[in-house]
Amino acid sequence: MEAVVEHPRDWGMLIGGEWVDAVAGERIDVITPIDRHQVIATVPRAREADADRAVAAAREAFPAWAQLPFTKRARALAQVADRLEEAVEELAVLTAIDTGNAIRTQARPEGTMLVESFRYFAGLAGEVKGVTLPTAPDQLQYTRRQPLGVVAAILPWNSPLMIVAFKLPALLVAGNTAVVKAAEDAPLSVLRMAEIASEVLPPGVLNVVTGYGAEIGESLVVHDDVDKVSFTGSTAVGFGVGAKAGGRLAHHSLELGGKSPCIVYPDSCTDEVVEQVLLASRFARQSQSCTTGSRLFLHEDIHDEFLEKFVARVAQLKVGDPREEDSDIGCIINAKQWERVQGYIEDGLAQEGVRVVHDGRESLTMGEPGFYHAPMVLAGVGNDWRIAREEIFGPVLSVIPWRDEDEVVRMANDTHYGLAAFVFCQDLGAALRTAHRIDSGWVQVNQGGGQVVGQSYGGMKQSGLGREFSLEGMLEGFTQIKQINVKL
Ligand code: NAD
């Protein structure tokens, strides 16, 4: 196979406005999922001493950044947005080669969302404000909203630009400084984003470190001088992060995994709904999305007809090189994840009553060495099976029949997760009734992909703690209130 990258770049980490190596000088190879062996870059393997350096740089930059008039922070973020906009294509290619996300369906929209997010939060700078109480004439009682300080933002590999878009613009506009930890498998677009943003931001306001979670990630979580940990990743790791950050009473928010229900009512057996359910399945992201509608609840009356239409559409999706415009689906991130998906498939196939309605792997003739994987649709699944309870993070959809609304709501909620949900029903009364009863942080009605900048984002139950990406997420997640009472 041709070289994915002609000259692999040895990246540094951005600390205090400088590009530096890890203190210990160790490095990690970044391998592209397009080809199982090619090293496309190397990044520093940071550890505790690097956390100390990055946090110190963020701390030093904090007072001046926090004390800037809000209009200046707004202007800086808007300038970052403009520069990132010029680089969307470059960022999209980096995303395609380090995550394996297909450029048209996923990588480019991620870059665009990052730009929109910087622009949106630039516009919210003036909202970091307090209130004045209606007190006696000789009293002035008011609140000030102030930033938390140094925020460690820990990112997963599945959509690095989108997740950094959820955190970074909001925390910066509120006056905090950042140490962003890129995921070890997919650090390139985040490093390039930082390179561009650092042309505008003062040194130390944004720092980016690379390396393994158990090393630099944990060093940031337990660091005394990190005021907030904003973590996105798996629920398993999130438990430990929450316990350690909580153990030292540091602020923390957790965006974790999901096993989201996607409910189709009998009045919704249409081609349009099939398209939206396809979006909800996140097959175009190899279903490596925390908001994947991975449990498809089809009403008995339309079960077979809907599945037939749906599977016909799934069969048209093209699995291919994520850099190619005509690829709908790219590749799974790495060998470990690919094997994990196989394990779930084997487990599902071993269950009594399971029916394979689509196994795209049969027709997958890539002739390529990458971690390509076509979608798999399994029907007759029990809501209590492992494949219907655990987050697979791969393109395996469990189809479960339902008859009664109370029953489907009960099944939808019978999970320890509560991140997203989808309800398809032409009767808006019934649709909203069900939407209101589902225990998820984000419910979409009659659409599968409608994420917009500024929406509230976060999970219920073990899908997380706190909200991001929105005005309230910025205020609640990245500021604290001080009350001032004055006798005049
Ligand atoms: P992960 O939990 O393995 O890692 C996430 C990040 O945490 C990585 O940067 C990793 O290096 C770091 N990390 C690992 N161990 C750590 C530790 N002990 N201390 C501190 N940091 C540590 O998750 P992943 O495999 O990179 O991502 C996939 C998971 O992320 C899925 O479960 C998915 O649902 C979830 N996710 C959630 C959201 C959301 O918004 N809720 C969004 C995207 C992904």
pLDDT above 80 (res 366): no
Q: What integer best gives the mean pLDDT of the chain?
A: 97
Q: Name the burial class of residue 8, with classes exposed (0-12), middle (13-18) and buried (19+) by CB atoms within 10 angstroms of its CB.
A: middle
Which among 95, 231, 234 is the best mutation to test ligand 1's pocket, defined by most ligand atoms within 8 Å of the CB? 234
| Same-domain status, 277 and 298 | yes
What residues contact 210, with CB distance under 8 A and at least 6 apart? Answer: 11, 13, 28, 43, 44, 45, 46, 181, 182, 184, 187, 191, 216
DSSP 33-50: TTSSS-EEEEEE---HHH
Report pLDDT for 370: 87
Question: Is the pLDDT score of 1 beyond 90?
Answer: no
Q: How far is the CA of 250 from the centre of ligand 1 (A)?
A: 19
Residue nearest to atom 10 of ligand 1 (CA): 213
**Residues 217 and 347 reside in one and the same domain:** no
Among the atoms of ligand 1, which is closest to the Cα of residue 159?
Answer: 43
Q: Into how many domains does the chain fold?
A: 2
Say how many Å lie between the CA of residue 330 and the centre of ligand 1: 20
Choice between 228 and 3, residue whose per-residue pLDDT is larger: 228
Find residue 252's DSSP bridge partners: 229
Q: Determine the distance from the C-alpha atom of residue 463 to the mean position of all C-alpha atoms in its chain, rounded to a whole number.
A: 12
On the question of pLDDT at 40 being above 80, the answer is: yes
Best residue among 48, 101, 158 to mutate for probing ligand 1, ranked by most atoms within 8 Å of CB? 158
Residues tagged active-site: 255, 290
Any idea of the CA torsion for 417, 444, 163, 227, to the nearest 10 degrees? -60
The answer to whether residues 365 and 320 touch, using CB atoms and an 8 Å cutoff, is no
Residues 415 and 480 in one domain: no
Encoding tokens for residue 116?
A: 């929109």
Residue 461 backbone zone (phi > 0: left; psi -120 to 50: alpha; other: beta): left
On whether both 275 and 369 belong to a single domain, the answer is: yes
Residues 74 and 183 placed together within one structural domain of the fold: yes
391 belongs to a structural domain: yes
**Residue 386 is part of a domain; what is its CATH number?**
3.40.309.10
**pLDDT given for residue 364 in this prediction:** 75
84-93 b/e (C-beta count within 10 Å ≥ 16 → b):
bbebbeebbb
Mean pLDDT of 170-176: 98
Does residue 412 sit in the same domain as residue 469? no
CA triple 483-484-488, angle to 5 deg:
155
Measuring CA to CA, how many Å separate 290 from each of 98, 163, 252, 399? 18, 11, 19, 18
Look at residue 365 in the predicted model and tell me its pLDDT: 67
pLDDT tens digits, one per residue of 295-352: 999 999 999 999 999 999 999 999 999 999 999 999 999 999 999 999 999 999 999 9
Cα-atom radius of gyration of the chain, to the nearest Å? Answer: 23
Q: Is the pLDDT of residue 52 over 90?
A: yes
- Asked if the model's pLDDT at residue 401 lies above 80, the reply is yes
- Does residue 371 form part of some domain? yes
In a domain? residue 1? no
Query: Is the domain of 141 the same as that of 188?
Result: yes
Q: What is the mean pLDDT of residues 232-256?
A: 98
pLDDT of 353 > 80? The answer is yes
**What domain range is 209 assigned to?**
9-256+462-487
As a whole number of angstroms, the distance between CA 223 and CA 59 comes to 12
Residue 374 lies in a domain: yes
Share of the chain above pLDDT 70, in %: 99
Tell me the whole-structure pTM to 2 decimals.
Answer: 0.98
Residue found by looking up tokens 């950042």 in the block = 178
Q: How does DSSP classify residue 294? A: -
Same-domain pairing of 428 and 335: yes
d(Cα 186, Cα 293) in Å, to the nearest integer? 24
pLDDT given at position 194? 98
- Check whether 368 has a pLDDT greater than 70: no
Q: Does 367 score more than 90 pLDDT?
A: no
Tens-digit pLDDT profile for residues 447-481: 999 889 999 999 999 999 999 999 999 999 999 99
